[in-house]
């Protein structure tokens, strides 16, 4: 029967009809409880009054929120999310118990108490709506962020009202969270949001206890991302439980923010191991006849006499010459040959990306003219463009970039998962190769 109803009648109408039936039964039980009370049957009065209240509560908690989410007033539905707190649930239960007692005894004082308690709920909803109204939110994010390192952003909340301040405001993230299971459904009234394509930037809460009228309040936001990648957030929220904490009312703010998290550049153990070798080979490659002193060494027969350092010769007792660097050839080209996912494991791949980022960062800050080559990388001379490329890179399924790599006067640092014997011989003379191997497959 239930399957036939769902197949022929939309669910919203089924719930609406069930709600009408439940309210009719509750009304009938309330009428019969009054008749029982007048006839002096205490137990029948208690049972019927309790049944009437129970039916009304079930209809209110299971049907009203469901229908309210589909109401035509989309501005109200989209503007605010509601969540009843534990204190609010306890408060409603107390109101119901006092209401049952008022119906059974007919005591006017209990009716006044119930009315006052219900008015407090109404006041709480109106006050929290006023607190959240006319607030503007802005989120400032740092320009350059590295994985594993702390970064500081800033939240700014402006109270645009001229006279009324705001109290107890939280700036929260609105990513989808799993629902809490209770004995009834639809405890929350909120809009269902689609799955986010990117992980969120901000997951937590920042508290503003008091925002005066016409004032801009600021708070620092500490961010830390464990993994590289692109993080994006389209919605933030301003929430408040003011004044009685019966409801958590959240006003949704559509504010698109995106941040690119670069790979971590903290030198790892393997970076410490290969850096002296790379630096040594690179310095040997750039030695020449320039203007900057490279080192003082022993005299060789092929050296010119005009480069003899007479002071150093007099101190040491042996002939010394000055050796200079060639500034016009002090160039490094870092080649990241993006490997296939089958070549190395995911963990080894992340280490390779971090190593490429660390090498690029090191030489870019050593006064070296550094360039970058990688599949799909355009330009290749700015370190931050290279880091942004590495932040979003995934294992490649295309051809190796080494196949189209042309020999230049630059010194090459090549990170590749290819076999040693497959590299072009023209690159060996002025290159240092880091072979990306998976220890589990070695």
Say if residue 296's pLDDT is above 50. Answer: yes
Between residues 12 and 177, which one has the greater pLDDT? 12
- The band of 50, judged by pLDDT with boundaries at 50, 70 and 90, is confident
Q: What is the mean pLDDT of residues 277-292?
A: 54
Statement: residue 76 has pLDDT above 80 = no
What pLDDT is attached to residue 186? 44
Does 39 have pLDDT greater than 70? yes
Q: Tens digits of per-residue pLDDT, 301-355?
A: 766 666 778 777 877 778 887 766 554 456 788 888 888 877 788 888 888 888 8
**What is the architecture, at CATH level 2, of domain 132-262?**
Sandwich (2.60)
Who wins on pLDDT, 290 or 261? 261
Give residue 208's pLDDT.
93
pLDDT of residue 177: 44
Q: Which pLDDT does position 219 carry in this prediction?
A: 92
Interval 11-27 mean pLDDT:
76
State the pLDDT confidence band at 138, using cuts at 50, 70 and 90: very high
CA distance 237 to 360: 39
Question: Kind and range of the H or E element at 129?
Answer: helix 108-132
The average confidence (pLDDT) of the chain is 76
Instruction: Report pLDDT for 426.
Output: 63
Check whether 286 has a pLDDT greater than 60. Answer: no
- What is the SS3 assignment for the chain? CHHHHHHHCCHHHHHHHHHHHHHHHHHHHHHHHHHHHHHCCHHHHHHHHHHHHHHHHHHHHHCHHHHHCCCCCHHHHHHEEEEECHHHHHHHHHHHHHHHHHHHHCCHHHHHHHHHHHHHHHHHHHHHHHHHCCEEEEEECCCCEECCCEEEEEEEEEECCCCCCEEEEEEEECCCCCCCCCCCCCCEECCCCCCCCCCCCCCCEEEEEEECCCCEEEEEEEEECCCCEEEEEEEEEEEECCCCCCEEEEEEEEEEEEEEEECCCCCCHHHHHHHHHHHHHHHHHHEECCCEEEEEEECCCCCCHHHECHHHHHHHCCCEEEEEECHHHCEEEEEECCCCCCCCCHHHHHHHHHHHHHHHHHHHCCCCEEEEECCCCCCCCCHHHHHHHHHCCCCCCCCCHHHHCCCCCCEEEEEECCCHHHCCHHHHHHEEEEECCCCCCC
Q: Which residue has better confidence, 207 or 292?
A: 207
So what's the pLDDT on residue 373?
Answer: 86
The ranges assigned to domains in the chain are 2-80+88-130, 132-262, 269-289+327-435, 293-325
The answer on pLDDT for 4 being more than 80 is: no
Model pLDDT, residue 280? 55
- Can you tell me the mean pLDDT for 140-148? 91
Among 172-186, 196-210, 380-394, which stretch is predicted with the lowest mean pLDDT?
172-186
Q: Is 214 within 8 Å of 256 (Cβ atoms)?
A: no
What confidence category does residue 129 fall into, taking pLDDT thresholds of 50, 70 and 90? Answer: confident
Residue 386 has pLDDT above 70, yes or no: yes
Which residue would you say has higher pLDDT here, 286 or 388? 388
**Which has more pLDDT, 109 or 397?**
109
Q: Judge whether residue 196 has pLDDT over 60.
A: no
Report pLDDT for 285: 56
């Amino acid at each position: 029967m239930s399957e036939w109803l769902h197949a022929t009648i939309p669910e919203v109408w089924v719930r609406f009809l069930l709600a009408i039936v439940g309210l009719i039964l509750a009304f009938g039980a309330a009428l019969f409880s009054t008749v029982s009370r007048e006839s002096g049957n205490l137990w029948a009065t208690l049972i019927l009054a309790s049944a009437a209240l129970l039916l009304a509560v079930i209809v209110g908690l299971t049907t009203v929120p469901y229908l309210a989410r589909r109401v035509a007033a989309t501005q109200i539905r989209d503007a605010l999310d509601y969540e009843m707190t534990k204190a609010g649930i306890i408060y409603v239960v107390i109101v119901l118990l006092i209401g049952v007692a008022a119906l059974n005894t007919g005591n006017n004082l209990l009716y006044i108490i119930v009315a006052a308690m219900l008015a407090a709920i109404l006041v709480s909803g109106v006050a929290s709506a006023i607190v959240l109204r006319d607030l503007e939110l802005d989120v400032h994010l740092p320009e350059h962020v590295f994985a594993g390192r702390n970064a500081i952003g800033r939240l700014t909340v402006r109270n645009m009202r001229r006279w009324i301040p705001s109290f107890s405001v939280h700036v929260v993230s609105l990513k989808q969270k799993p629902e809490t299971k209770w004995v009834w459904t639809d405890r929350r009234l909120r809009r269902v949001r689609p799955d986010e394509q990117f992980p969120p930037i901000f997951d937590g809460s920042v508290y503003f206890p008091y925002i005066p009228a016409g004032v801009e309040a600021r708070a620092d936001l500490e961010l830390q991302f464990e993994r590289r990648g692109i993080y994006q957030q389209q919605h933030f929220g301003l929430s408040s439980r003011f004044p009685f904490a019966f409801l958590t009312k959240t006003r949704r703010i559509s504010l698109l923010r995106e941040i690119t998290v670069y790979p971590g550049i903290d030198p790892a153990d393997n970076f410490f191991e290969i850096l002296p070798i790379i630096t040594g080979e690179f310095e040997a490659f750039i030695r020449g006849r320039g203007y900057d002193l490279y080192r003082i060494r022993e005299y060789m027969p092929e050296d010119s006499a005009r480069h003899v350092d007479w002071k150093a010769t007099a101190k040491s007792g042996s002939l010394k010459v000055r050796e200079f660097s060639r500034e016009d050839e002090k160039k490094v080209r870092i080649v990241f040959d993006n490997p296939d996912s089958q070549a190395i494991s995911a963990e080894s791949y992340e280490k390779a990306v971090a190593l490429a980022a660390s090498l690029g960062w090191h030489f870019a800050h050593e006064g070296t003219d550094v360039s970058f080559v990688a599949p799909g990388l355009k330009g290749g001379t700015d370190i931050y463009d290279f880091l942004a490329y590495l932040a979003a890179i995934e294992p490649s399924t295309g051809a190796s970039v080494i196949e189209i790599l042309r020999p230049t006067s630059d010194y090459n640092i090549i990170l590749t998962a290819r076999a040693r014997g497959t590299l072009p011989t023209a690159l060996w003379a002025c290159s240092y190769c880091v072979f990306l191997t998976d220890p589990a497959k070695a």
